[in-house]
């Protein structure tokens, strides 16, 4: 039988909201607050925005992240409670996620590298629709897409911007990425594609001078891009902890049935 991990040293981080700050005060008084570099686990108090920020900050540390909902949107968070936190942490189930790596080349030929946990999105910068050419594993799959934008979403991000753009919800353990257009104009009926999570996606911007495009990896944005390459970075594994019965996989399943 696998022994539960021990989480003696806890680092707490909190968003600026009143509820999150009050929770931070309560929990640090009860459990102390370890330096994140020396902690066994990081507990994030806030909403999904703070969770994404915390995951980005700890992307290469291998430390597990446990979120408690003290913010606005809490899809990635557990319910808040101050009771017996160490026992909750030791009983939690772990989900491992890999970020996307975006390599965006701008109009000046400068290459920008950023990671995304939810999605890499390209979108028009002006009132004119953007035009894209799409290649998957170096094979052209669409010579021209006219749309407000397009994104590559991970399973963890499939319930965020991707879902708002009518993209599919992906089970957290699915070896898939969602390629989802944003307000496609031509071909009008194209709804996107499901790709293997090892796919190498290249999106080229057509008529970029006339129809400028920005690219964003979560919150990191690059303006006036000409070419964006996206792939799952398997060298990075991020560990998220969820209470039993409230795993990310269960949350994604519930979302598909309207709960």
Q: How far apart are CA 121 and CA 36, in angstroms?
A: 31
CA dihedral 140, 143, 146, 152 (to 10 degrees): 0
218 belongs to the catalytic site: no
* H or E element that contains 88: helix 85-91
At residue 24, φ and ψ (nearest 5 deg) are: -60, -45
What single DSSP character describes residue 156? Answer: T
Catalytic residue among 8, 35, 40, 48: 48
Q: How far apart are CA 11 and CA 5, in angstroms?
A: 16
Distances (CA, A) of 180 to 12, 122, 217: 35, 11, 15
Is-contact 6 40, C-beta < 8 A? yes
Is-contact 122 208, C-beta < 8 A? no
To 5 degrees, how large is the angle CA 195–CA 199–CA 201?
95
Instruction: Please give the structure tokens belonging to residue 189.
Output: 């009926």
Instruction: Please give the structure tokens belonging to residue 75.
Output: 């899809």
**Which class for 116: exposed (0-12), middle (13-18), buried (19 or more C-beta within 10 A)?**
buried
Residues annotated as catalytic are: 48
């Amino acid at each position: 039988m696998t022994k539960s991990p021990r989480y003696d040293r806890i680092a707490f981080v909190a968003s600026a909201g009143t509820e999150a700050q009050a929770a931070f005060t309560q929990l640090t008084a009860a459990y102390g607050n370890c330096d994140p570099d020396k902690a066994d686990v990081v507990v994030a108090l806030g909403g999904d925005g703070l969770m994404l920020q915390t995951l980005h900050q700890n992307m290469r540390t291998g430390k597990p992240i446990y979120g408690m909902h003290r913010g606005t949107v809490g899809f990635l968070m557990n319910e808040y409670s101050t009771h017996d936190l160490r026992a909750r942490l030791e009983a939690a189930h772990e989900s491992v996620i890999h970020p996307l790596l975006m390599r965006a080349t701008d109009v000046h030929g400068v290459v920008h590298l950023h990671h995304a946990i939810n999605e890499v999105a390209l979108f028009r910068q002006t009132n004119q629709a953007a035009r894209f050419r799409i290649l998957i594993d170096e094979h052209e799959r669409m010579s021209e897409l006219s749309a407000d934008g397009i994104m590559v979403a991970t399973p963890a991000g499939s319930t965020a911007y991707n879902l708002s753009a009518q993209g599919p919800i992906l089970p957290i353990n699915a070896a898939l990425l969602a390629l989802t257009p944003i307000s496609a104009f031509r071909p009008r009926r194209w709804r996107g594609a499901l790709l293997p999570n090892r796919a190498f996606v290249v999106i080229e911007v057509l008529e970029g001078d006339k129809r400028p495009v920005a690219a964003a990896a979560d919150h990191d944005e690059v303006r006036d891009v000409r070419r964006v390459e996206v792939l799952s970075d398997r060298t990075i594994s991020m560990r998220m902890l969820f209470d039993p019965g409230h795993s990310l996989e269960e949350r994604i399943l519930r979302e598909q049935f309207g709960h």
